[in-house]
C-alpha cells in the first residue's frame, strides 16, 4: 500500500470516534452558559477532522516525495478526500449558509475555508467566496481566508491573482513561482491589509517546506 493509502486508511478509522469524543468533551467544557455562543460542536468537530484528513494526507505525500515519482497519488487525494469533503460542504452550506465562527468556532470556520480551498468545483468555490465575503463583513470569518480563496478562484478563472498566494511548480527546474499578480507593485500592501505576510516571507515558507529550489522566477 502506498504512503497516502496507509495515511487515509488510518485517518478514516479515527474520524468517527474522534468527532464523537471531541463533541462530548466540548459540550462538557462549555456547558450551557448563556454568555457563550451556541456553537454546534458536532458539526465543528466533523469539519475539523475533515480538514485534518486533508492536511495529514497532503503532508504525508510532501514528506515522502511520492507526488514527484507517482503523480497519481495526488489524484487519489482528490478522489478520496477533496471530492467527498466538497459534497459534505455543499450539504452544510445548503442547510446553514456559510459556517462562521458563531456556528462552528474560529477553528471550525477556518477548517471550512480550507475544505473549499481544495475543492475541484469552481462554481461551488465562487458561491462560497460570496458567502465568505458577506460573513467577513460581520466578523464571522477571517479576511485572510477570504483573500486566499479569492486568489484560488481567480487563478481557476484564468485571471491574475490579487494577493500572490497561489504558486505553480516548474516542470523543468522543479521550483515554484507565483501565478501572475494584478498590480504586483502593490501586492504587499494588499497582503498586509488582510493579515498576510510579505511575498518575501511567503517565499521563505515555501523554501522551508519544499527545499532551497522552491522559488524560481
Q: Are residues 24 and 104 in the same domain?
A: yes
What's the structural domain count of the chain?
Answer: 2
Number of H helices, E strands in the chain: 10, 2
d(CA 52, CA 66): 20
pLDDT band (50, 70, 90) for residue 70: low
Q: What is the pTM of this model?
A: 0.80
| 104: in domain | yes
Decide if 77 contacts 119 (C-beta within 8 A).
no
Among 88, 122, 156, the domain-final residue is 122
Q: Are residues 13 and 117 in the same domain?
A: yes
Segments forming the whole domain that contains residue 108: 3-30+37-122
> Coil, strand or helix: which one is 104?
helix
Decide if 215 contacts 203 (C-beta within 8 A).
yes
**pLDDT tens column, 21-62:** 555 445 444 444 455 568 999 999 999 999 999 999 888 877
Q: Are residues 9 and 114 in the same domain?
A: yes
> Coil, strand or helix: which one is 160?
coil
Q: Are residues 91 and 191 in the same domain?
A: no
Among 56, 87, 122, the domain-final residue is 122
Q: How many CA atoms lie within 13 A of 41 on its CB side?
A: 18
d(CA 191, CA 124): 25
Q: What's 4's DSSP letter?
A: H
**pLDDT tens column, 154-209:** 999 999 999 999 988 765 555 678 999 999 999 999 999 999 999 999 888 887 77
| Those residues with Cβ within 8 angstroms of residue 169's Cβ, 6 or more apart along the chain or in another chain | 175, 176
Amino acid at each position: 500500500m502506498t504512503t497516502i493509502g496507509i495515511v487515509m486508511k488510518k485517518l478514516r478509522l479515527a474520524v468517527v470516534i474522534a468527532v464523537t469524543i471531541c463533541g462530548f468533551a466540548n459540550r462538557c467544557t462549555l456547558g450551557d452558559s448563556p454568555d457563550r455562543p451556541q456553537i454546534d460542536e458536532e458539526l465543528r468537530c466533523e469539519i475539523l477532522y475533515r480538514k485534518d484528513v486533508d492536511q495529514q494526507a497532503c503532508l504525508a505525500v510532501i514528506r515522502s516525495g511520492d507526488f514527484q515519482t507517482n503523480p497519481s497519488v495526488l489524484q487519489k487525494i482528490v478522489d478520496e478526500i477533496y471530492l467527498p469533503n466538497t459534497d459534505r460542504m455543499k450539504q452544510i452550506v445548503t442547510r446553514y449558509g456559510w459556517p462562521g465562527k458563531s456556528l462552528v468556532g474560529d477553528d471550525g470556520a477556518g477548517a471550512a475555508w480550507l475544505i473549499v480551498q481544495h475543492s475541484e468545483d469552481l462554481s461551488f468555490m465562487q458561491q462560497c467566496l460570496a458567502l465568505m465575503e458577506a460573513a467577513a463583513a460581520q466578523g464571522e470569518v477571517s479576511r485572510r481566508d477570504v483573500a486566499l480563496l479569492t486568489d484560488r478562484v481567480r487563478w481557476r478563472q484564468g485571471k491574475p491573482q490579487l494577493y500572490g498566494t497561489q504558486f505553480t511548480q516548474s516542470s523543468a527546474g522543479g521550483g515554484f513561482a507565483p501565478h501572475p499578480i494584478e498590480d504586483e507593485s502593490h501586492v504587499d500592501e494588499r497582503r498586509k491589509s488582510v493579515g498576510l505576510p510579505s511575498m518575501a516571507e511567503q517565499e521563505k515558507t515555501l523554501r522551508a517546506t519544499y527545499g532551497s529550489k522552491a522559488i524560481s522566477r
